Amino acid sequence: MPWKRLLRGPSVGSAVATLHTAFLAVLLAAPARDALGAQSQVLDAGTFSLEIDGQRIGREDFSIRRNPAGSVSAFVAQAVVVRGGLRHTVALNTDSLGIPLTFQLKTLSAGREIESVTGEWRRGLWSGRAVSPIGESAREFRVPEQTIAAADEVIHQTWFLLRGGPDRSVTQLLPRRLELRQVWVESAGTERLTIGMREYDARRWTVRATRGGLVIQEAWTDVQGRLLRVRIPAESLDALRDEAPPETPPPGGAYNLTEPHTQDMV
């Protein structure tokens, strides 16, 4: 159920527009600790401005963290997405390959919860439940090995689709829709991209429904694999970072293609 079907009300007001500041303050505060007291590592955090046909319709404040070795989940991706009069909070936990363990989404309108989506992996099965204004649904289905969760409506989760590199087929879990689909991820060369006062020779990616088929997403990343821009042609949606990522990325190969602690995405 695309979010654009739920969009109602005025554009983001000044009170809502300040949410990103508070959210990023929380994300970048003292790092979360596991039961052993070890620190998690912030791999990336920032804000995307969202536009449709050149008109700003909202923003996405996000954080992607890597947990210490031995934790139940390897990566934790969180975001607050504000579009129109709606406020979405999203959290995804994955293993070291990006395979989903848990997913949660809540949507508020005027402070009232109007949508809730939850899901978790159990012994090769994905158990999901969605409650929205059009009804309630629940499904449990088998997920193939190396399935990647990435909701189309959540920009920063595209990072998980790209981690395995280009020229490959990926089984994508759409947790909001409670379904799977196959997509093809490919490299589309490099392109000059300006964010703030910085210019990048950004790597361009294309996510297609099939090899050579319909374009679902276009993405641009820096040499570390951090997302700079994402486009969703079907919605005419363009998401661009408000500020450039830090020049010095976290140590330890934070943006590698498969297991942590090896190499950067190049």
For residue 108, the domain's CATH number is 2.50.20
29-44 pLDDT, tens per residue? 444 444 334 688 999 9
Tokens of 223: 């040499």
Q: Does residue 266 lie within any of the structural domains? A: no
Q: Does residue 48 lie within any of the structural domains? A: yes
Number of folded domains that form the chain: 1
Q: Does residue 183 contact residue 160 with C-beta atoms inside 8 Å? A: no
Q: Does residue 15 lie within any of the structural domains? A: yes
Which amino acid is it at 1?
M
Note down the domain range covering 21.
3-32+40-241
With a CB cutoff of 8 Å and minimum separation 6, the contacts of 156 are 44, 48, 60, 62, 64, 77, 79, 227
98, 48, 79: which is closest to 231 by C-alpha? 48
153-194 pLDDT, tens per residue? 899 999 999 999 999 999 999 999 999 999 999 999 999 999
Q: Does residue 209 lie within any of the structural domains? A: yes
d(CA 255, CA 43): 8
d(CA 135, CA 124): 27
Mean pLDDT, rounded, of the chain: 83
Give backbone dihedrals phi and psi of 265, rounded to 5 degrees, phi first: -75, 125
Strands 237-241, 148-149: pairing kind: unpaired
CA distances from 154 to 75, 92, 247 (A): 16, 11, 25
With a CB cutoff of 8 Å and minimum separation 6, the contacts of 185 are 161, 162, 164, 165, 166, 167, 168, 169, 170, 205, 206, 207
Top-confidence residue, 144 or 31: 144
Tokens of 55: 């008109």
Tokens of 139: 């499904």
Which amino acid is it at 52?
I
Q: Does residue 192 lie within any of the structural domains? A: yes
Looking at the chain, how many residues does it have? 266
52-70 pLDDT, tens per residue? 999 999 999 999 999 987 7
Confidence of residue 215 (pLDDT cuts 50, 70, 90): very high
Q: Does residue 118 contact residue 38 with C-beta atoms inside 8 Å? A: no
